[in-house]
Structure 1
Amino acid sequence: MMFWFDHDVSGWGWFAMSAGMVAFWALIVTAAVLLFRTPSRATEPTRGPSGPSPEQLLAERFARGEIGEEDYRWRLDALHAFGPPTKH
């Protein structure tokens, strides 16, 4: 009976409850995103690297005039000399 009228939450209490609620919902949303995103990656077929190949990038630079013909041929020969990267 002594604490009947003393159940008010102070300003810091409201702040702590609000921060706790935001953290709780952020955790729930993060867990949901991770759960739904991970299985979709596992079922996705494995494919090569996305984007243009090194030869295509080199040809684009040559077409834009960033490199000259001699430099283009030298770099293209270097790409073909080393071949594709090997997987370990």
Structure 2
Amino acid sequence: MMDFGCGGFGAGGWIAMTVFWVSLLALVIWAVTRAGAGWGAAGSRTSEERGRGDTAPESPEDIVDRRFAAGEIDEDTYQSMRAALRSSRAPHDGPR
């Protein structure tokens, strides 16, 4: 006859199972916090990087300047992007 009671593992089995589940839970929590650390950080700056009290988002020109300064884009790309931004902000002849 099979024993489906709570005494089948013994003390060592219960301790090992508890350690396993606690470790698994800790691993899942660690993985979620590591993955979640970058979710809101991409492209955002802290208030110290922007200057205290400045909560305005970066302008497109600021983003291009920052990317050029960080070496993400070359000078030709930087110049063409800045020119495109300037032309898109220029007033048009009138409504069409």
Instruction: Normalising by structure 2, report the TM-score.
Output: 0.39
1 or 2, which has the higher helix percentage?
1
- Determine which structure has more spread, i.e. the larger CA radius of gyration: 1
Q: Which has the higher contact order (CA 8 A, sep 6+)?
A: 1
